[in-house]
Amino acid sequence: MKSPNMWKLAVIPALLFLMVVVILPLGNTIWTSFAKPELGLGNYVEFFARDAYVRILVRTILTALLVTVACLLIAFPYAYLMTLVGARWRLVMVGAILIPFWTSAVVRTFAWMVLLQPSGLVNQALGLFGLGPYYLTGNLIGVLLAMTQVMLPLMILPLFSALASIDRKLLVAANGLGSPPLRAFRRVILPLTVPGIVAGSVIVFVSSLGFYLIPQLLGSPRQQLLSQLIVDEVSVRLNFGIGSAMAVVLFLATALILLSARKFGGSTETFGSTNVLSPRGAETLSGRRPVALVIFSGIVGMILVGPAMVLIPLSFTNEASFVFPPESYSLRWYANFFSSRDWIEALTNSLKIAGLVTVCATVLGVLASFGIVRSRSRFGRWAQGIILVPRIVPTVIVAVAVYAVFLVWGFTATTTGFVMAHTALAVPFVVVIVSAAVKTLDPRLEIAAQSLGSSPLRGFCRVTLPLIWPSVASGALLAFITSFDEVIISLFLQGPFLRTLPVLMFSSIQDRIDPTIAVASTLILALASILIILNLVFRKDGQNIS
Amino acid sequence: MAKILADNSEGQGAAVRLEGVKRSYGDVIAVENVNLDVKPGEFVTLLGPSGSGKSTTLNIIAGFEQATAGEVFVNDQPIGRLPAHKRNMGMVFQHYALFPHMTVSQNVAYPLEERRMAKQDIAEKTRAALDLVKLGHLGDRNIAQLSGGQQQRVALARAIVFSPHILLMDEPLGALDKQLREELQYELKELHRRIGVTVFFVTHDQEEALALSDRIAVFNDGQILQIGTPRALWEAPQSPFVANFIGESNLIPGAMAQGRFRARDQDYQAGPNAGDGAATLLVRPGQLRVSAADGAVPDGHNRITGKLASSAFMGSVRRLVVDCGANGRFQVVEQIGAFSDTADGDAVILHWHPDNSILVEGVDDTVANVFDAR
Amino acid sequence: MITGKVKQGAMAAVLAAALPLVAGEATAQNRALVLMSSGGVLLDAQKKAFIEPFEEATGIRVVTVAPVDFGKIQTQVEVGRVEIDVVEWAPEFAIRFCGTVLEKITDEFDMSVFDPKYVSNECGIPQATFTHPFFYNKNVFTGDVPSTWADFFDTEKFPGKRAVWNSGYGTNFEKALIADGVAAEDLYPLDFERALAKFDGIKDDIIYWNTAAQLVQLMQEGSVDLVAGWGPAATQAIINGADAYVPVMNQPIMIYNQLMIPTGAPNREEALEFIRFVTSQESQLGHVSTYPQGPTRKDVNPTEFANETLKQNYPGSATNAVDLDPSWRWQHIGEMGDAWVNWSTQ
């Protein structure tokens, strides 16, 4: 029972790291917004004086709102059905959520581009009914579709948690009190789900504010969002001042939402700790499963999983186009991938960076988790808040902030720079997952080990580590995938001799009609599947213990 | 140090001495001025309410906490600087602290592995220890599959398998139901007799302390109030707190003046050797007698009148509450064969021989007395 | 309970394990240079025409970066960490940044071999010319076909979707003004309001494209009826099967690119060598006869083309091409961008 003060030390490496890599740059961004090109409110005045900018700000908020509402409407029935089905079907439904979550954003966006093209599958399907073809990209339809798909998992999981924790007897009781089923649903289930609705909506809304890839690749100027404007100002026009001011405005919008959500009973804590890896197990509840609900959820499941799958057959096409289904098949694009120095280098870079990030983020995150949980102090909670910042602030803001200081420090286009930035994004995941495990850990087990003759370090290795190992492994996997899939910061940090796979995919998508992108996507999907399976295996081990 | 680390296979516990031990956190003092001299093989209980400092003292002995001042000696050698894992003391934790990712055998073998014993010896000793706690057949079980009592036994086996000189137990029976607790108390005592280890046993349950201990150290507010055999504490408590904590009692706060004890206008005959000043008169419920209002009272007895407020028949005993108005409310226990012929609501006389009461110096407002409305 | 020492030890071990990997990145690239260009099909053609021959002839590796991000170059020069050795881009930037972000290099070359029209500053070496014409879908317009920029903006006579480059720095204003009857020599100063009013007329029919890939994709799909495109990329799309599109070489906007070297380029010598190789008579002739761009050298006049489409789209074939005024444009580049963003995001 060493004093909790000792544990505070364990938080310090991660805290220091995030202070230097994220907080300091964010501070610099805020400063820049007031100081460049000259001290004052000039950048803000300019921002709000320009119709185009204000319009884009309003549009960004409206789009996020639209996505949130769409997600809520689609996610609720799906989450509700999850509480009704048996364990096996639940696993399938969870899988349908996890697969898109673990799939790289570039891959998913590219899949939508292929699906929604005028000759794509969606238009082909519409054609069967004599409709179309429609322009589904370059306008709001495609952007909304893709955004909603990406955000759905983040809405379903908190809803499911809330729904699953409701005592189903309440519904029976309500029925007994004379409410017909639908009324009982409205008067009992719905009010009890409010925390889940708030949590999910906040997560989706805040995440939607930072969208960059989807409007960039699927939208037109009429869908342009603030993130794109920020990237444009900073990376193309080099107006760090106004770009920073925009980032601050976006950040304030985010903060405002989070604060008001707190009033409604949600909290940043729920935001950070929503465990996207394994939705809490809950008893299967018996109840009627309306056919309409099953069909609806089936379609949702297909929308979640389907798009990325299209890329697998496409990678075997024989043509130099994205025509789907391909008219003939070949391995030529695989040959192209593996004989291209650019692609191979990008793949190697991604693997190397992700590997290093996994090690760094896991070490920092595990230490910090112990520090936060065991110090049980205000300092611990405060440190946790700092560590979660990179997950709460839209990534484009982090990217702009990190880019500005990394330029000066000479970290752009270096492995070190990539590893530092990606580690900052990955540490929060590790902390959320591992600290949940540490919380359930009995601290006296380590003391017991000492009383039995283990030195503190040996006790940690023989007792504590085996007990939290499944969570550490999950955290490490998530750290790996976070780095491996990261695009936005990477776009800023890339250099001619250091490009990652998503970066090369992103520029190829804009650059040429090249099914090699589908090959890269398929490889990423394969890797993600392996990781999901590994994760399930680790989790299973964990269940045996508890 | 070598002597401390040697194993205890010859069945000899270690002598332990605490000298002026103090532990404080900033301004808050957890324990202070703890002096304790324990003979090899003695079973000593640290008894007190929660927060009294008994667990802190145990943790200082174990090495989980450092004393701010004072020193702990084992066989006359100071061990304050020795880290916990080198102290070679067995410890049984509250809620057992068994390793959930290991089987029963693996748990018990753990300390032997940490001592790099040969595989063969580990297997033998593990089996012997499990046999000792009557769990030889459950070695391959997972911890989660065991009942509370079984887990407790595994914890015990794990704590003694490496033959420590000193065994520390922190409320080991606290989580068990009454019957199992009593059964294990008996086994613990038996085990202690067989392996001869020095035991420090922390509990807040005075009955458990009385049943198990060679000596009891009563803690309150971070201090040891009194150390003694169970009988000595019961018969001669040195403070109202100890009097109240060890066994049931009726406490009458008052003052001695001219050889007589006086409380709220009522004089009592007290035992000898009492000086003037604030004092508390203690009468055990079993020492009180109840007679009908018109009944005879032996000469020389203290007597007060009252009303039988309630009574409960409990088999071999009968418990009564007598309301003596301004003189307080008294708990009475009558043994079978000596039940008085009284009923609820009867006017009664409460009386006792002065030798059966104990006069304790001082008055402690924090301790419940007969004037409290019970 | 981990003690501080142990933690330090663990961290040190991790760092020690990671270091060799990080250090590995510093491995010297044996003579290389970084070329920033628009990429896409242009890059594919350039690779064949002169990049690969250059690599073979000199052993210098050419690493390519696309698309052109001039802001990035500017930043790199400002913070003193330049990664780009050669950039191929519009002369506006060469004029605007000559002597600051870009190095004055014309002294290193014999500039007399180039058409003086394309020698506009001390930093850019003329590389190639190309056009922004428009194309129509011959399957859609079977009778009367659009033949002028005015037709392109006339949705009554020629209804249908129009693909337009989403860029204020491009040539959209020029096209609209010509369509509105402004003479080629009176284009500057550009009248933004007048141009955008012309665009208002087709706003609901516009399909935007941002990149060459999107342009090619649109044409391969055959899903737009009129395309205002980059000549080279569009021609390449036609060669690759989008043969429903017919170029209209009436008053195409004529553009030229220059090769520039950022100040402080790490491989300056290799860059100069590369530019010399690329602008040689042999390289240019090879390039313009296999790709729909035109030469900047006076002594390059292709007579044989790789195929018929290339011949049709050869920039030199337009007799009334409209020239841009780079010096006016670089001074007003911000206004052009803002005016377009303001209009297009509404």
- Express each pLDDT in C130-144 by its tens digit: 999 999 999 999 989
CB atoms within 10 A of CB C167: 17
How far is the alpha carbon of B64 from chain A, nearest alpha carbon, in Å? Answer: 5
Residue C54 domain-assigned (yes or no)? yes
Residue of chain B with shortest Cα separation from A443: B97
Same domain, C54 and C105: yes
Same domain, C46 and C137: no
Closest residue to A221, CB basis, from C63, C66, C344: C344
Same domain, C272 and C294: yes
C81 and A496 within 8 Å at the Cβ level: the answer is no
C39 and A457 within 8 Å at the Cβ level: the answer is no
Mean predicted confidence (pLDDT) in B5-19: 71
Q: Which domain holds residue C210?
A: 131-253
pLDDT of C140 reads 92
- Tokens 């009908």 appear where? B292
- As for how many domains chain C has, the answer is 2
Distance of CA C211 to the CA centre of its chain: 10
How far is the alpha carbon of B114 from chain A, nearest alpha carbon, in Å? Answer: 6
A450 and B84 within 8 Å at the Cβ level: the answer is yes
Q: C230 near C252, Cβ under 8 Å?
A: no
Closest residue to B110, CB basis, from A452, A455, A466: A452
Mean predicted confidence (pLDDT) in B260-270: 84
A10 and C2 within 8 Å at the Cβ level: the answer is yes
C166 and A221 within 8 Å at the Cβ level: the answer is yes
Q: A421 near A427, Cβ under 8 Å?
A: no
Same domain, C44 and C120: yes
CB atoms within 10 A of CB B129: 26
Helices (H), B63-177: 104-114, 119-132, 148-160
Residue of chain B with shortest Cα separation from A450: B85
Task: Output the average pLDDT for chain C.
Answer: 86
Residue C74 has φ and ψ, to the nearest 5°, of: -60, -45
Q: Which domains does chain A have, with CATH numbers?
A: 1-28+340-511 (1.10.3720.10), 41-278+294-309 (1.10.3720.10)
The residue of B98, B110, B169 whose CB has the most chain A CBs within 10 angstroms, and thus the best one to mutate to test that interface, is B110
Strands B250-257 and B260-263: antiparallel
CB atoms within 10 A of CB A445: 18
Same domain, C46 and C114: yes
Q: How far apart are CA B230 and CA C38, in angstroms?
A: 94
Residue C319 domain-assigned (yes or no)? yes
pLDDT of A177 reads 66
Q: How far apart are CA C211 and CA C203, in angstroms?
A: 19
Final residue belonging to a domain, choices C223, C253, C283: C253
Tokens found for residue A292:
């309409």
A510 and C210 within 8 Å at the Cβ level: the answer is yes
Residue C332 domain-assigned (yes or no)? no
Tokens found for residue B41:
């093989």
Identify the band that residue C41 occupies on the pLDDT scale cut at 50, 70 and 90: confident
Cβ contacts below 8 Å, chain A against chain C, sum to 143
Nearest to A241 by CA among A406, A56, A45: A45
**Strand, helix or coil at B32?**
strand
Q: Tell me which amino acid residue A260 is.
A: S
Tokens found for residue B298:
């032996």
Tokens found for residue A183:
């009324």
Task: Output the average pLDDT for chain B.
Answer: 87
pLDDT digits (tens, 9 = 90+) for B205-253: 888 899 899 999 999 999 999 999 999 998 888 888 998 888 888 999 9
pLDDT of A265 reads 53
Please give the helix or strand (H or E) that residue B38 lies within, else none: strand B28-38
> B256 - beta bridge partners?
B261, B277
Mean predicted confidence (pLDDT) in B127-147: 88
C79 and A363 within 8 Å at the Cβ level: the answer is no
Q: Is the pLDDT of residue C344 over 80?
A: yes
Strands C226-228 and C162-165: parallel
Same domain, C137 and C125: no
pLDDT of C45 reads 85
What ipTM was predicted for this assembly? 0.79
Cβ contacts below 8 Å, chain A against chain B, sum to 70
- Tokens 């010319």 appear where? C129
CB atoms within 10 A of CB A263: 9
Closest residue to A455, CB basis, from B85, B95, B162: B85
Residue of chain B with shortest Cα separation from A542: B101
Identify the band that residue C13 occupies on the pLDDT scale cut at 50, 70 and 90: very low
Q: B318 near B306, Cβ under 8 Å?
A: no
Tokens found for residue A518:
């589908």
Same domain, C239 and C290: no
The residue of A405, A497, A498, A516 whose CB has the most chain C CBs within 10 angstroms, and thus the best one to mutate to test that interface, is A497
The residue of A220, A349, A442, A483 whose CB has the most chain C CBs within 10 angstroms, and thus the best one to mutate to test that interface, is A220
Give me the residues of A, 369-398, that contact C with CB < 8 A. Answer: 370
Strands C125-137 and C226-228: antiparallel
Final residue belonging to a domain, choices C214, C237, C253: C253
Please give the helix or strand (H or E) that residue B78 lies within, else none: strand B77-78
Residue C206 domain-assigned (yes or no)? yes
CB atoms within 10 A of CB A295: 10
Same domain, C137 and C229: yes
Mean predicted confidence (pLDDT) in B309-334: 90
Same domain, C44 and C148: no
The residue of A5, A246, A457 whose CB has the most chain C CBs within 10 angstroms, and thus the best one to mutate to test that interface, is A457
Q: B270 near B255, Cβ under 8 Å?
A: no
Q: Which residues of A touch B101 (CB under 8 A)?
A: 463, 466-467, 545
Q: Which residues of A touch B86 (CB under 8 A)?
A: 453
Closest residue to A356, CB basis, from C21, C29, C40: C21
pLDDT digits (tens, 9 = 90+) for B112-136: 998 888 999 999 999 999 988 888 8
> C247 - beta bridge partners?
C135
Same domain, C278 and C177: no
Q: Which residues, 6+ apart, have CB-to-CB distance to B221 below 8 Å?
A: B52, B53
- Tokens 């399930």 appear where? A536
Same domain, C161 and C109: no
Q: Which residues of A touch B88 (CB under 8 A)?
A: 453
Query: Percent helix, strand, coil in chain A (nearest 5)?
Result: 80, 0, 20
Q: How far apart are CA B349 and CA B59, in angstroms?
A: 50
Q: Which residues of A touch B97 (CB under 8 A)?
A: 442, 444-445, 447-448
Q: Which residues of A touch C6 (CB under 8 A)?
A: 456-457
pLDDT of A543 reads 43
Final residue belonging to a domain, choices C198, C222, C253: C253
What CA–CA distances, in Å, run from B305 to A55, A157, B250, B285, B368? 92, 72, 16, 16, 21
What CA–CA distances, in Å, run from A452 to B139, B140, B162, C152? 19, 20, 9, 87
B93 and A1 within 8 Å at the Cβ level: the answer is no
A407 and C29 within 8 Å at the Cβ level: the answer is no
Identify the band that residue C235 occupies on the pLDDT scale cut at 50, 70 and 90: confident
Residue C290 domain-assigned (yes or no)? yes
Q: Which residues of B touch A442 (CB under 8 A)?
A: 95, 97
Closest residue to A1, CB basis, from B65, B98, B101: B65
Q: Is the pLDDT of residue C8 over 50?
A: no
Give partners of B (≥3 CB pairs < 8 A). A
How far is the alpha carbon of A348 from chain B, nearest alpha carbon, in Å? Answer: 38
Q: How far apart are CA C282 and CA C285, in angstroms?
A: 5
Same domain, C259 and C297: yes
Q: How far apart are CA B48 and CA B52, in angstroms?
A: 6
Residue C151 domain-assigned (yes or no)? yes
Q: Which residues of C touch A511 (CB under 8 A)?
A: 39-40, 66-67, 211-213
Residue C331 domain-assigned (yes or no)? no
Identify the band that residue B271 occupies on the pLDDT scale cut at 50, 70 and 90: low
Residue of chain A with shortest Cα separation from B56: A1
B91 and A451 within 8 Å at the Cβ level: the answer is yes
Q: Does this model's pTM top 0.90?
A: no
pLDDT of A180 reads 66
Q: How far apart are CA A371 and CA A213, in angstroms?
A: 36
Give partners of C (≥3 CB pairs < 8 A). A
Q: How far apart are CA A329 and CA A325, in angstroms?
A: 10
Please give the helix or strand (H or E) that residue B29 lies within, else none: strand B28-38
Strands B223-228 and B215-220: antiparallel
pLDDT of A178 reads 62
A447 and B90 within 8 Å at the Cβ level: the answer is no
Tell me the pLDDT of chain A (546 aa) as tens digits: 445 567 788 888 999 999 999 999 999 999 988 987 888 888 898 888 888 888 888 989 999 999 999 999 999 888 888 877 777 788 788 888 877 777 888 998 999 888 888 778 888 888 888 887 777 877 888 889 899 988 888 888 888 888 877 766 666 666 666 666 677 677 777 788 888 888 888 888 888 888 888 888 888 777 888 888 888 887 766 678 888 999 999 888 888 888 887 766 544 444 443 444 444 444 444 556 678 888 888 888 988 888 888 899 999 998 888 888 888 899 999 998 998 888 999 999 999 999 999 999 999 999 999 888 888 778 888 888 888 888 888 888 899 899 888 988 888 889 999 999 999 999 998 998 898 888 888 888 888 998 898 888 888 889 988 888 888 888 898 899 989 989 999 988 888 888 999 999 988 888 777 889 999 999 988 888 888 777 777 665 544 333
Residue C343 domain-assigned (yes or no)? no
pLDDT digits (tens, 9 = 90+) for B28-53: 889 999 999 999 999 999 999 988 99
Q: Which residues of B touch A449 (CB under 8 A)?
A: 85, 99, 110
What CA–CA distances, in Å, run from C290 to B319, C49, C216, C285? 114, 8, 18, 9
Distance of CA C66 to the CA centre of its chain: 10
First to last CA, chain A: 24
Nearest to A322 by CA among A139, A507, A110, A39: A110
How far is the alpha carbon of A303 from chain C, nearest alpha carbon, in Å? Answer: 24
CATH code at C187? 3.40.190.10
